[in-house]
Chains A and B, each alone.
Chain A
Amino acid sequence: MAEAISKTPLLEVKGLKQYFRINRNFTVRAVDGVDFVIYPGETYGLVGESGSGKSTIGRSLIRLYQPTGGKILFDGIDISGRMNRADQTRLRMEMQMIFQDPMACLNPRKKVEDIIALGLDIHHLADSREARHEAVREILDKVGLAPEHANRYPHQFSGGQRQRVGIARALIMNPKLIIADECISALDVSIQAQVVNLMRDLQQETGTAYLFIAHDLSMVKYISDRIGVLHLGHMVETGSTQEIFDNPVHPYTRSLLSAIPHPNPRTEKKRIAQAYDYRTENIDYKTGTQHHFGGTHYVLGTDEEITHWANGDRH
């Protein structure tokens, strides 16, 4: 999908900070200065362990949180500070989210048709009852559900079908960017593949960009064009999928990659995953700067660290 990438980014994040003040003496720095860009029609994968701030980034972007600092440019408009009404409406129509738990994010007391059409109702996009009905029917067909499913309640669906409803709800607004926050982690492996395939097909059809947040690197590799690796609220490495997988530089990225179990008993039995502890390696993310490694590949670190890692010191 590299040819689909044009030069002007759809989303530009510069130095995004998201702090949570717990009390007078303690503030959680969930996201501490993160930069990245997403181009129209591409998939950007965010990976990292739990607590690295990947979900927080997604929620700050769609303004479920008030960002503490930094700038977010979405399609030319600044959405990081206070927004006027028109910008707010535009953001809420053009950026959509798919959540992790398909049961928890659907209102159990509403029929699927009303869940999916809620966005249309709020923004007055359907002129008549028929138009609304037609829009829902069309979108259900797109995500592989039958029209009669519109009259059912969420509990009458299986996990994979529920996630399809979640995707339909996001797609009906024709968004430019969909934030998929761990949208496949709660599903069974065989269903995961179905949902990932569906998301890829829909992207080819509609040209939507995805911010794909996950901790499962093997799925991220399949769906993403570019990947950002997060650790403790810092973007430690970012680049195209190939750059990250073929030439990981940061030790944290390497340990993440080495932790994926390979489905090959002969190699897997003997393999030991690389450990990574930023404390024992004396890495302070705050002192590091982004270093360019060709293409879109950037690594966070001080000058000495970067030369140390790049010179093939694979621990």
Chain B
Amino acid sequence: MDEKNRKKVLEMRNLSISFTTNAGLVNAIRGVNLDVYQGETLAIVGESGSGKSVTAKAIMGILDKNSVVNSGTILFRYRREDGSEVESDLAKMDKKDFRKHINGKRIAMVFQDPMTSLDPTMTVGRQIMEGMIWHFHTPHSEAKARAIALLEEVGIPEPKRRMKQYPHQLSGGMRQRVVIAIALACNPELLICDEPTTALDVTIQAKILELIQRIQKERGISIIYITHDLGVVAKVADYVNVMYAGKIVEKGTIDEIFFDPRHPYTWGLLSAMPDLDTRDERLYTIPGSPPNLLRPVPGDAFAPRNIYALNIDERAEPPMFQISNTHCASTWLLDPRAPQVDMPAELKARIERMKKEGV
């Protein structure tokens, strides 16, 4: 992970998206900055309603009709077929170009529920070949051979027989493997996995995660991984962005987030993980609930739930404080004028224990 050789694939700057609803304007995303580098996995963590999925949908250009992109750019760098390198702003691209140049071809997505993301009326084989034929006009026989190879790559036994089967004939884990095969069919540069294992059993989840890890190693593609499970993050991610109420509150490498978290919300998330080694009487929970984004959020959105909140949190939004080259967090606690606040003692003890395990 040499700093200089890292090639930026995606650069999101100050993205802000609202939804018009009956109740008013919901500010789902409020100024998100995001960088994805080639061959690396970025995990976006947060509660439901924090805007992780909206961010992913914005990159894919599949936002709902009632959405408004208020500001921001999503720069995506890719190679054309002729080898020339282009950079385009996905936030401003029109739908037709999106479908023609981006979706499935260069950015592919794996959705949460494999039953609803597959077409029940099409055989598995046709669904895998569809993208290749549409984007590259691959001859049918060649597409078929590639589809069989892909099924084999994602670990489906008897790929030839499976090609002719329909989604309902497969189990949940197999279906998700098919979805991954479809996503990989056109050799995308960027793969977005939106909670790909939440609908699956733990044993199958472990296998799917190992599959995604292996594919990334072999193909060297970039992955954005959206999840709320920190155990999953620990397994797959190189970089982590913690999202809260439509903003990224802390970002850093996986080690920095797990072993040196700075934002009180990250402390809360890490403390709330049920740990297999401790047996406390109660599980830690973050008090309160996320803010209603229908109303403007003054100051720090996390302040009402934060026991370490300062006076200034109610008045001004904290900027991103840089902690190291890769690590930054948005909380006033990092301001030089702020009082010295340490993470909760239990969390500290747990991190110490984790560090020992790792050696």
Contact = CB atoms under 8 A, between A and B. Distances in A.
Interface string B248-274: 000000110010000000000110111
A256 B202 contact: yes
B357 A216 contact: no
A188 B47 contact: yes
A200 interface: yes
Interface in A244-272: 245, 255-256, 258-269, 271-272
A273 interface: yes
Nearest to A241: B279
Which of A49, A219, A275 has the most chain B CB atoms inside 10 A of its CB?
A49
Nearest to A189: B228
B335 to A, nearest CB: 27
Nearest to B202: A259
Contact of B235 (A49, A158, A196, A269): A269
Nearest to B286: A190
Contacts of B258: 263-265
A261 B274 contact: no
Interface in B81-106: none
A59 interface: no
Contacts of B254: 265
A199 B281 CA distance: 12
B130 to A, nearest CB: 29
Given A197-B282, A264-B358, A269-B234, A245 B203 contact: no
A261 B201 contact: no
B239 to A, nearest CB: 11
Interface in A176-202: 188-190, 193-194, 196-197, 200
A258 B206 contact: yes
B301 to A, nearest CB: 15
Interface string B112-156: 000000000000000000000000000000000000000000000
A197 B281 CA distance: 9
Contacts of B285: 190, 193-194, 197
A215 interface: yes
B229 interface: yes
A221 interface: yes
Contacts of A190: 47, 269, 272, 285-286
B234 A50 contact: no
Nearest to B228: A189
Nearest to A255: B203
A268 to B, nearest CB: 4
Contacts of A221: 274, 276, 279
A158 B289 contact: yes
A215 B201 contact: yes
A89 interface: no
Interface residues of B, number: 44
Interface residues of A, number: 38
A19 B83 CA distance: 61
For chain A, what secondary structure do more than half of its interface residues adopt (helix, strand, loop), or is it mixed?
A: helix
B209 interface: yes
Contact of A266 (B210, B230, B357): B357
B205 to A, nearest CB: 7
B207 interface: yes
A188 B282 CA distance: 18
Contacts of A189: 47, 228-229, 272
B354 interface: yes
Interface string A269-296: 1011101100000000000000000000
Contact of A193 (B270, B272, B354): B272
A174 B247 CA distance: 45
A269 B258 CA distance: 13
B231 interface: yes
Q: Which of A263, A267, A269 has the most chain B CB atoms inside 10 A of its CB?
A: A263
B253 to A, nearest CB: 9
B323 interface: no
Given A49-B201, A188-B47, A256-B203, A263 B357 contact: no
Contact of B231 (A50, A200, A268): A268
B206 A273 contact: yes
Contact of B275 (A200, A245, A263, A273): A263
Interface string B148-186: 000000000000000000000000100000000000000
Contacts of A261: 205-206, 209, 229, 231-232, 234-235
B287 to A, nearest CB: 9
B276 A262 contact: yes
Contacts of A50: 172, 201
Contacts of A216: 202
B204 interface: yes
A88 interface: no
The 10 closest A-B CB pairs, nearest first, are A266-B358, A261-B231, A273-B206, A259-B206, A268-B234, A193-B283, A218-B274, A265-B234, A259-B202, A264-B354
